[in-house]
Amino acid sequence: MIKRILLLVLACSMAAMGQTQKSRAALEAEKKENLKRIEEVKKVLGATQKEKQTSLSQAKALQRQIENQEKKISLAQQDFHLISKEMEINLAQQDTLRKELEVLQKEYAEILVQEAKNSGKLTKLGFLFSSTSLTELFMRYKYLQQYSENRKKKFEKMKSLTADLKKRQAELAQGKLRQEQVIKEVTEDKKGLDNLKSKQEEIVKELTSKEKQLKVELKKQQDALRQLNSVISVAIAKERAARKAEEEAKKAAERKRAEEAARLEEARRVAERNKAKDAPSTKTNEAPVKEAPKPNPEPVVSAPTRTEVATIASGKFSAAKNRLSWPANGFISSRFGVRDHAVLKGIKVDNHGIDIRTSAGAEVRAVFEGVVLDISQIPGLNYVVAVQHGDYYTVYANLASVAVKVNQKVSGREIIGTVAEKDGVPEINFQVWHNFTKLNPELWLGPK
């Protein structure tokens, strides 16, 4: 009974350990991804710090790095708690193993004592040959064999448990060292975070003196984004209107074909009735004239409509959520939605997509297969390309050059242009639309 309870406790703790291992894998993957983002922003900050003039792009990059650093500290704290949980499970398993080992040691000691008592009375051979029949001899032999194997198994199990206990004690000691290392890293990271915030305060203070200039630039950006919104909305409306017109034309053609088929059928029936009236009533020796067989009409196979194609494309795109490729290498310098301005207090900015800071002359690629819906030039955003994926659309703004044409089919990862500079830095604005609704692109992009 005790053994069963111990085994149940051990199984539960092993299951809990399995869950922590899954959490550990997810945490390590997130830490790795965050470190990659930190390195990306660090390179940009290294380049912008060489610039003599303080810019809004520096403030944005610092804000992203502050967020990344805060995330790093948060992940480290999660790591500390996870190690604590692992150690707690480890201790529980050690206690269970130790109890199981004590039970086995007690049982093994009893076996040895019993053997010692029996050795003075009767040897194994004497025990066997004192049998009164072959059957009894065989049964006694099997008993001794099982007895020996049982003792051997208990001994091996004790060795295994002892080794497992030593291993877990070593893991526990290692866990304590890891916790100490995490505490040290968090302390250093907090110092790094304070330094970043100090730099940000200096830049914001310097940029605040240029408030009028920043407000002028912000108005230009907002005007450009409003124009972009209008251009894409008109392009989508036209495409939807063309889709509707095509559907109506198809329905009209189908009605016309049905009406024509009905007219021909009615004419055929009238002809048959007239022929029956004109036929002679008396029989003749002339053989009846056989009519030539009527050819079967060819089935009408129509090409899929825009709506049918769009439905298929929408399903494929929707299934790719969280797995879309990135339009350019880099980091997100401005996130989706309404947020505080990086410098100007009390002013909100509304981003219909995300801004991705990349390298000069970087290639911009389609995130998914589709058809180029529109290419426009907008002051402040240079070239803008919209790609249709059924009822979904991806928008790539601030391109220096374009490598595609309207109505051209593009595949995922195909180059559609190169990045242009905005505020003196290479940056694109990337948007995802579902019909006329703007979606958060971060929820659609996969890992790099």
> Running along the chain, 448 residues long, what does each successive block of 10 average in pLDDT?
50 54 82 85 69 69 89 90 83 76 70 58 54 67 66 71 76 83 89 88 81 84 91 93 84 84 82 75 51 52 66 90 94 90 83 92 95 94 95 96 95 95 90 96 91
**Structural domain tally of the chain?**
2
Asked if 408 and 358 sit in the same domain, the reply is yes
Asked if 223 and 338 sit in the same domain, the reply is yes
Asked if 114 and 226 sit in the same domain, the reply is no
Asked if 78 and 221 sit in the same domain, the reply is no
Residue 276 CA to residue 271 CA, distance in Å, equals 9
CATH of the domain at 371: 2.70.70.10
209, 224, 246: which is the final residue of a domain?
209
pLDDT of 258: 86
Residue 278, in any domain of the structure: no
Pure H helices in 279-387: 306-319
Enter the tokens of residue 356. 């991705």
187, 209, 231: which is the final residue of a domain?
209
pLDDT of 59: 83
Residue 47, in any domain of the structure: yes
Residue 423, in any domain of the structure: yes
209, 236, 256: which is the final residue of a domain?
209
Domain assignment of residue 101, given as a range: 2-209
pLDDT of 178: 85
Distant-in-sequence, close-in-space partners of 320: CB < 8 Å, separation ≥ 6: 368, 444
Residue 294, in any domain of the structure: no
Asked if 236 and 205 sit in the same domain, the reply is no
pLDDT of 224: 92
Asked if 193 and 227 sit in the same domain, the reply is no
With 0-12 / 13-18 / 19 or more C-beta atoms within 10 angstroms meaning exposed / middle / buried, residue 444 is: buried
Asked if 178 and 223 sit in the same domain, the reply is no
Asked if 227 and 330 sit in the same domain, the reply is yes
Give which of 137, 310, 337 is closest to 236, Cα–Cα.
310
With H, G, I as helix, E, B as strand and everything else as coil, classify residue 413. Answer: coil
Give which of 81, 105, 94, 92 is closest to 167, Cα–Cα.
94
Asked if 116 and 228 sit in the same domain, the reply is no
Residue 403, in any domain of the structure: yes
Residue 41, in any domain of the structure: yes
Asked if 148 and 230 sit in the same domain, the reply is no
Asked if 220 and 335 sit in the same domain, the reply is yes
Residue 199, in any domain of the structure: yes
Enter the tokens of residue 374. 């529109």
Asked if 111 and 243 sit in the same domain, the reply is no
pTM exceeds 0.75: no
With 0-12 / 13-18 / 19 or more C-beta atoms within 10 angstroms meaning exposed / middle / buried, residue 358 is: buried
Residue 297, in any domain of the structure: no
